[in-house]
Amino acid sequence: MLDVKHLRKVYSGHGRTVEAIGDLTFHVAAGEFVTVVGPSGCGKTTLLRCIAGLLPATAGEIRVDGRPVSGPPPGLAVVFQEYGRSLFPWLRVADNVALPLRRRKLSTVERRKRVHDALAAVGLHDSLEAFPWQLSGGMQQRVAIARAVAYEPRVLLMDEPFAAVDAQTRADLEDLVRDVWRQLRITMVFVTHDIDEAVYLGQRVVMLSRSPTHVLDELTVDLPDERDQLGTRSDPGFSKLRARVYSQIRAAKAPVDLGKTAS
Ligand SMILES: Nc1ncnc2c1ncn2[C@@H]1O[C@H](COP(=O)(O)OP(=O)(O)OP(=O)(O)O)[C@@H](O)[C@H]1O
């Protein structure tokens, strides 16, 4: 479904050259939930922008459904970290969610149904008429997720989407994302610097080195599909997995701001 092959990305300009991504190769199968974890500044956002066709690769290739990415691929949606900047403050919630559907040839009835269903799926069926600035940060991020879901993407990329919300809201949103994935079986690529989040959410964790980035290792998360914040996180299997991810990244001499430490 998604193939990243020898991806390299170098930024240059204003007398400065940054090799953000050195040589990245990994594969994501259709319907799989893959989390990508790496230290702050290792090129996670750069990677997602390249996959989303928003940034050209310096070298290497990305394919979605076998087709090389040279612009935004059809059927792919992205949820960014900065929900405050991704929603239009002058549009009501329902109109924000309906926005990407404008290009699709849908009847008004079908469009309304998709918007309503997507907002219901994220628990915001009663906020259709609200403006984004009337909602909390967590609710705004739910709107951004609903907008992506309403589009019915085959691939959903998420770029540290919960980094700016409080711990309780973050836990709720993590469960929401897993529910959405389990219902719709979209192919998910979720990047985070939080090791616990990567293990809790993913079926597989791809671990990245510091820039110039390469894949350190990949780990299958052999935890049951049915997960919950208390039970799963206190499971000895969960602790083992997060310790493995933590030690891999620490062994690569990552900086200290790597989310939570393993115990
Ligand atoms: N437009 C740009 N021009 C030049 N350098 C850039 C640009 N965008 C990112 N970089 C550099 O590329 C590297 C990777 O940045 P990127 O934002 O992709 O990392 P990240 O892992 O997403 O970071 P964080 O976890 O802090 O969000 C960094 O050194 C950054 O300074």
* pLDDT, tens digit, 9 for 90 and up, residues 50-76: 999 999 999 999 999 989 998 888 889
Q: Are 1 and 30 in contact (CB under 8 A)?
A: yes
Q: What is the CATH number of the domain that holds 211?
A: 3.40.50.300
pLDDT score of 83 more than 90: no
Rounded CA gap, 20 and 92, in Å? Answer: 37
Looking at residue 263, its pLDDT comes to 41
**Angle in degrees, 0-180, between the axes of helices 108-121 and 167-184, rounded to the nearest 10:** 130
> To the nearest whole number, what is the mean pLDDT of the chain?
88
Query: What residue owns the CA closest to ligand 1's atom 5?
Result: 11
Given ligand 1 and candidates 7, 46, 48, 210, which is best to mutate, with the most ligand atoms within 8 Å of its CB? 46
* pLDDT, tens digit, 9 for 90 and up, residues 96-110: 999 888 877 888 888
User: Is residue 88 one of the residues assigned to a domain?
Assistant: no
User: Is residue 18 one of the residues assigned to a domain?
Assistant: yes
Pocket of ligand 1 (CB under 6 A): 11, 18, 20, 40-46, 193, 211
User: Is residue 141 one of the residues assigned to a domain?
Assistant: no
> Could you check whether the bond before residue 212 is cis, i.e. omega within 30 degrees of 0?
yes
Looking at residue 52, its pLDDT comes to 93
Range of the domain at 260: 1-75+185-263
* pLDDT, tens digit, 9 for 90 and up, residues 196-233: 999 999 999 999 988 888 999 999 999 998 999 999 99
Q: How many domains does the chain have?
A: 1
Q: Atom of ligand 1 at shortest distance to CA of 160?
A: 27
User: Is residue 151 one of the residues assigned to a domain?
Assistant: no
User: Is residue 98 one of the residues assigned to a domain?
Assistant: no
Query: What residue owns the CA closest to ligand 1's atom 2?
Result: 11
Looking at residue 108, its pLDDT comes to 86
List, in sequence order, every residue forming a beta bridge with 205; answer none if it has no partner: 35, 219
> Which is nearest to 179 in space by CA: 111, 219, 227, 220?
227
Residues 6+ apart with CB under 8 A from 77: 100, 147, 148, 151, 153, 155, 156, 157
User: Is residue 2 one of the residues assigned to a domain?
Assistant: yes
User: Is residue 121 one of the residues assigned to a domain?
Assistant: no
User: Is residue 243 one of the residues assigned to a domain?
Assistant: yes
